[in-house]
Structure 1
Amino acid sequence: MNKPARPATPCIAVCSTGMGDDVCRGCGRTFIEVSQWVMMSEAEREVVWERLEAHWAKAGLPPPWLARGV
């Protein structure tokens, strides 16, 4: 089974880290991951992607970025 394509960022424009959450309720990234995303290497981003995909799979939910139609 092929994995769906990933967008450039897991952001779904429902960020709660700006409101003080340590972890975004929209995508699941930490404040540091959100703020540093554009400066991360591809390898660093891959680590985050894998953690996020595992998080949403464990919750029994599709990753939220898939709903926005990559």
Structure 2
Amino acid sequence: MQNSRSTRPDTPCVAVCSTTFDEVCRGCGRTVDEVAQWVFMSDEEKECVWERITAEGYPRRNS
């Protein structure tokens, strides 16, 4: 069985960035802090974020 981690892009960003009304991007579902810290996160930290945002229905290309 193939790991979902190996089929994902490097980042959840879908270039639909908007945190106008709260601290969560309506495009990728990450918090402002997660977006800022993404390149510094470990693979395990990124995996936790990926699991949460996909469970919440993100990333969304047409928000």
Same-fold status (TM-score > 0.5): yes
Normalising by the residue count of structure 1, what TM-score does the alignment of the two structures yield? 0.69
More helix by share: 1
Matched residues, percent identical? 59
Normalising by the residue count of structure 2, what TM-score does the alignment of the two structures yield? 0.76
State the alpha-carbon separation in 2 of the partners of residues 15 and 50 from structure 1.
20
Number of corresponding residues: 60
Flag structure 2 segments of 5+ consecutive residues without an equivalent: none
User: How far does the alpha carbon of each residue in 1:13-68 deviate from its partner, in whole angstroms, 9 at most, with x for none?
Assistant: 11113x57400011110000000000000000000000011111xxxxx7436xxx
Flag structure 1 segments of 5+ consecutive residues without an equivalent: 57-61, 66-70
SS at 1:64's partner residue? coil
- The 1:43/1:23 distance shift into structure 2, 3 A limit, reads same
